[in-house]
Amino acid sequence: MYGWAVGDMAGLFPRPRAVVAPGAVHVPEWLPVERQRALVEVCREWARGPVPLRHTVLPGGGVMSVQTVCVGWHWQPYRYSRTADDVNGARVADFPDWLAELGRAALVEAYGEESPVGTYAPDTALINFYDGAARMGMHQDKEERSGAPVVSLSIGDTCVFRFGNTENRGRPYTDVELASGDLFVFGGESRFAFHGVPKVCPGTADPATGMSRGRLNLTLRETGWGV
Ligand code: SIN
Ligand code: MN
């Protein structure tokens, strides 16, 4: 028993799907491993350019511990643009149709067919890479003009995802373990809830996903910023 990594226990204890808050749904193991591997490959390509994966520098001079690359629209604190003016000035890669399709499928999975999935048109993906030491502080996703849900996909190492309230960074919040293949959608009353990643659990990734270490997270969003 001693020395077992959390990953060794995967599958022994099925993790149930959960509504964490109104409009916030966690669906464990939604992405099959082949799909995760394909996503990792395409993210590796996007990480090379036209805008490379890098640590975002905050206006106060702080540097985020996660590394980020964007597709469709470039996010920099605290706005969206087509070109990565805080990196190399290049226009970000186009947001592919298949990724919007995946976002719509995620919405159907989370909310069912009655959800306004027909009109859901995510046009940006923020792709974050976490090494074992990376964290993300509590924040809201609020640079979007659209109130459409955010779709979050996790691959690689398991993390603790803290999902809070819409008022402040503190309690009440719920800590959820997001493992490889998990889907988390937050929309409706929870769309502007504070959330963050206080901890990544190194060594929990299954190398079959294409991630031998670290955690990859994609959030698909509708910017509402037009063409
Ligand atoms: C984010 O809040 O944009 C990323 C969340 C995550 O890494 O799970
Ligand atoms: Mn966020």
The per-residue pLDDT for range 122-177, each reduced to its tens digit, is 999 999 999 999 999 999 999 999 999 999 999 999 999 999 999 999 999 999 99
4 belongs to a structural domain: no
Farthest-apart Cα atoms in the chain, separation: 55
- Predicted pLDDT of residue 3: 40
Quote the CA–CA distance of 138 and 30 in Å, as a whole number: 25
**Please, what is the Cα angle at 227 between 47 and 54, to 5 degrees?**
20
6 belongs to a structural domain: no
Mean pLDDT of 25-52: 98
Instruction: Flag whether pLDDT at 5 surpasses 60.
Output: no
56 belongs to a structural domain: yes
* Distance in Å, CA 92 to ligand 2 centroid: 19
* Distance in Å, CA 178 to ligand 1 centroid: 10
Tell me which residue range forms the domain holding 130: 31-221
* Distance in Å, CA 218 to ligand 1 centroid: 7
Nearest CA to ligand 1 atom 3: 219
Question: Which residue type is seen at 98?
Answer: W
37 belongs to a structural domain: yes
Using alpha carbons, select from 47, 32, 1 the residue that is nearest to residue 216: 47
Question: Which residue type is seen at 147?
Answer: G
26 belongs to a structural domain: no
* Distance in Å, CA 197 to ligand 1 centroid: 7
Contact 58, 136 (CB under 8 A): no
182 belongs to a structural domain: yes
Q: How confident is the model at residue 10 (pLDDT cuts 50, 70, 90)?
A: low
pLDDT in tens, 163-215: 999 999 999 999 999 999 999 999 999 999 999 999 999 999 999 999 999 99
b/e map 188-200, b = 16+ CB within 10 Å: eebbbbbbbbebb
Which CATH number characterizes residue 46's domain? 2.60.120.590
Place of tokens 């067919």: 113
Number of domains in the chain: 1
pLDDT in tens, 76-134: 999 999 999 999 999 999 999 999 999 999 999 999 987 778 899 999 999 999 999 99
Q: Which residues lie with the beta carbon below 6 Å from any ligand 1 atom? A: 126, 128, 136, 152, 161, 195, 197, 217, 219
Ligand 1 pocket test target in 161, 217, 218 with most atoms within 8 Å of CB: 217
Dihedrals phi, psi of 124, to nearest 5 degrees: -145, 150
Place of tokens 């402040």: 168
Who has greater pLDDT, 91 or 10? 91
126 belongs to a structural domain: yes
36 belongs to a structural domain: yes
Ligand with smallest separation from the Cα of 125: 1
Predicted TM-score (pTM) of the model is: 0.95
